[in-house]
């Protein structure tokens, strides 16, 4: 974690320690967004099954260094806003039974994975 | 007793596994090299051992009894946790919380329309400081593969059959937020005290694979794979 | 355009199901012109990304924790407490870096443990030979009944 990061979060918490670092969030609750299918290499926390799908921002959560950078201890990398995005199951899976049209799934993305839909 | 998926016969009771040898080696080497002290290890182990689902059950029960507290729980899970005795930032000996669980708890409110259930498809992220340690099945590739695509089938395997006019909302916990399901209060418990209510809010209810029931104070029994050299048993 | 990405993703998910634990094809280390875009993608995927892959119902089990598993969990958290790594690095190492075969082959806490051993060597807190000698020493100790 590097002792620098440990010092930063002691008594403060993580992700609280990143508050104010990412400026203004690009998206807000209710925005329709599409998940970008960025190149796969080495590591990601953007699940394959969400790539290219369109959903709605359910919650604007917090600011943090994104996991792809934090995973190499690049805690000095810029922080981004994170968002919980909600999808209809029907939009994620071609074979989801139409008997349940309102079933949803939501999961969290850093801002760089989202584009307006 | 041979397990279905074992690749060799069950070891003798006094045989030491490759993992046990490596674990000892790693811990001793780390201490020798000054990466941490034996005292650090003991203190964190003591904290880890203290964790269980009771504070989360009290949070749910309190939310059922007190609409103002429920509002707080839905707005700020970390602040609400303080009122059931869990300080996500200061309880752990680290002084910043647990490295793996972070400090952003979100409470997911079930409604008559929507049933929540939680999974971490990428690993096994779980709100340890308030709910304790995750069950084995939650960590399996199987649960992680299937819940996000066939949630009703998986829930029915846990004994939860949802009516067709109720919607499922799967929460895939993949970043720093941690999630706790706030299930609906069961019928017939409207006059119960907070203590009585907490007793029927089991761990599985707060993951979302079970619903609280006035007659049930423990999760449904499941097969338990025994350990060869188990942790010394403590009651939580 | 969006539809074809979704189709590609769906195909990709179906395809990776066939990759574990080894690649079953007649030639290993193929010529580069024999690699399709789909196959390249499948090779470079993050192994932990299993959501939506087909699987069959299994009995849901609890497990009694081994002492070494609890020790491993504590070691990993204490390594982060003392600044050796952070939890996200731990996840990258144990859930993506190990490779498909080890990812599915080891027990859950086996991956935590191996990754703790690896980070110590990678970050030069110990040499690999020191780790090897220590494993040898511990093994001998257990075998002699100490």
The answer to the question of residue C55 being in a domain is: no
Quick check: B142 and B214 in contact, CB under 8 A?
Answer: no
> Which among C2, C3, C6 is the top mutation candidate for probing chain A, defined by the most A β-carbons within 10 Å of its own β-carbon?
C6
| Total of domains in chain C | 2
Q: Which domain holds residue A45?
A: 2-116
User: Residue A48: which of B183, C123, B159, C12 has the closest Cα?
Assistant: C12
What CATH number corresponds to the domain at position A17?
Answer: 2.30.30.50
pLDDT in the model for residue C22: 58
Could you tell me the two tokens for C19?
């990759």
Is C58 part of any domain?
A: no
Predicted ipTM of the assembly:
0.97
Residues C73 and C134 in one domain: yes
CA distance A23 to chain C (A): 23
- The Cα A112–Cα A82 span in angstroms is 9
Longest dimension (CA), chain B: 60
pLDDT of residue B8: 44
Angstroms from B99 CA to nearest CA on chain C: 6
**If you measure CA to CA, which chain A residue comes closest to B163?**
A100
Q: Average pLDDT for residues B184-202, to the nearest whole number? A: 98
Among chain A residues, CA nearest to B102: A14
Whole-angstrom Cα distance, residue B18 to residue C116?
15
**Residue B45 contacts C, CB cutoff 8 Å:** yes
Q: Examine the residue annotation and report whether B123 is marked as an active-site residue of this protein.
A: yes
Task: Write down the residue that tokens 């190149």 correspond to.
Answer: A39
Average pLDDT rounded to a whole number, residues C101-105: 92
Within an 8 Å CB–CB cutoff, is residue C125 touching chain B? Answer: yes
Chain A to chain B Cβ contacts (< 8 Å): 101
Sketch the domain layout of chain B as residue ranges. Answer: 18-48, 52-207
**Cross-strand pairs, B171:** A106, B118
- Residue C16 forms part of a structural domain: yes
Residue B205 catalytic?
A: no
Contacts of B236 in chain C (CB under 8 A): none
CATH number assigned to the domain covering B52-207: 3.90.330.10
pTM of structure:
0.92
How many angstroms separate the CA atoms of A110 and B207, rounded? 24
Which chain C residues have a beta carbon less than 8 Å from that of B157?
57, 60
CA A59 – CA A85 distance, rounded (Å): 7
C135 and C73 in a common domain: yes
CA distance B215 to A13: 39
Based on the fold, state whether residues C36 and C91 are members of the same structural domain: no
Helix (H) or strand (E) holding C141: helix C128-143
Residue C25 belongs to some domain of the structure: yes
Instruction: Find, among B199, B49, B42, B204, the residue nearest to B132 by Cα.
Output: B49
Question: Is B177 tagged catalytic?
Answer: no
Q: Residue C109 belongs to what domain range?
A: 67-143
- For residue C114, tell me if it sits in a domain: yes
Q: How far apart are CA B173 and CA C51, in angstroms?
A: 12
Provide the residue-wise pLDDT of chain A in tens; the chain has 117 residues. Answer: 688 899 999 999 999 999 999 999 999 999 999 999 999 899 999 999 999 999 999 999 999 999 999 999 987 799 999 999 999 999 999 999 999 999 999 999 999 999 999
From start to end of chain A, where are the E strands? 32-35, 54-64, 80-88, 104-110, 114-116
């Amino acid at each position: 974690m590097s002792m620098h990061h440990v010092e930063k979060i002691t008594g403060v918490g993580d992700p609280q320690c990143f508050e104010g670092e990412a400026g203004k969030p690009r998206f807000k609750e209710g925005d329709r967004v599409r998940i970008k299918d960025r190149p796969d290499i080495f590591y990601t926390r953007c699940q394959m099954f969400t790539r290219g799908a369109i959903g709605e921002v359910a919650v604007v959560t917090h600011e943090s260094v994104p996991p792809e950078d934090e995973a190499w201890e690049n805690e000095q990398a810029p922080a981004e806003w994170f968002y919980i995005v909600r999808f209809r199951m029907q939009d994620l899976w071609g074979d989801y039974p139409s008997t349940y049209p309102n079933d949803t799934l939501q999961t969290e993305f850093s801002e760089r994975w989202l584009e307006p839909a | 007793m041979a397990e279905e998926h074992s690749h060799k016969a069950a070891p003798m009771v006094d045989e030491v596994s490759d993992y046990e040898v490596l674990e000892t080696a790693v811990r001793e080497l780390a201490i020798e090299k000054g990466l941490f002290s034996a005292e650090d290890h003991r203190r964190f182990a003591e904290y880890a051992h203290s964790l269980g689902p009771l504070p989360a059950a009290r949070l749910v029960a309190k939310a059922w009894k007190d609409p103002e507290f429920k509002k707080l729980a839905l707005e700020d899970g970390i602040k609400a946790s303080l009122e059931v005795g869990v300080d996500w930032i200061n309880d752990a000996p680290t002084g910043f919380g647990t490295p793996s669980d972070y400090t952003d708890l979100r409470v997911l409110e079930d409604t008559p329309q929507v049933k929540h259930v939680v999974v971490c498809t990428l690993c096994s992220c779980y709100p340890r400081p308030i709910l304790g340690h995750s069950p084995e099945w939650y960590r399996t590739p199987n649960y992680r593969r299937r819940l996000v695509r066939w949630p009703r089938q998986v829930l029915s395997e846990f004994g939860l059959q949802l009516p067709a006019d109720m919607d499922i909302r799967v929460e895939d916990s993949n970043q720093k937020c941690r999630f706790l399901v706030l299930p609906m209060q069961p019928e017939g418990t409207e006059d119960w005290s907070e203590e009585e209510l907490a007793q029927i809010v089991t761990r599985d209810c707060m993951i979302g694979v079970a619903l609280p029931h006035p007659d049930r104070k423990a999760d449904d029994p499941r097969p338990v794979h025994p350990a060869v050299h188990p942790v010394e048993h403590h009651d939580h | 355009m969006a539809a074809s990405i979704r189709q590609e993703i769906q195909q990709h998910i179906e395809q990776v199901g066939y990759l574990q634990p080894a690649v079953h094809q007649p030639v290993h280390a193929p010529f580069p012109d024999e690699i399709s875009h789909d196959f390249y993608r499948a090779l470079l995927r993050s192994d932990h990304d299993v959501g939506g892959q087909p699987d069959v119902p299994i009995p849901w089990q609890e497990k009694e924790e081994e002492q070494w598993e609890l020790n491993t969990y504590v070691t990993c958290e204490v390594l982060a407490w003392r600044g050796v790594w952070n939890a996200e690095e731990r996840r990258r190492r144990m859930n993506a870096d190990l490779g498909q075969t080890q990812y599915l082959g080891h027990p859950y806490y086996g991956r935590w443990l191996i990754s703790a051993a690896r980070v110590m060597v990678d970050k030069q807190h110990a040499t690999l030979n020191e780790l090897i000698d220590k494993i040898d020493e511990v093994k001998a100790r257990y075998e002699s009944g100490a």
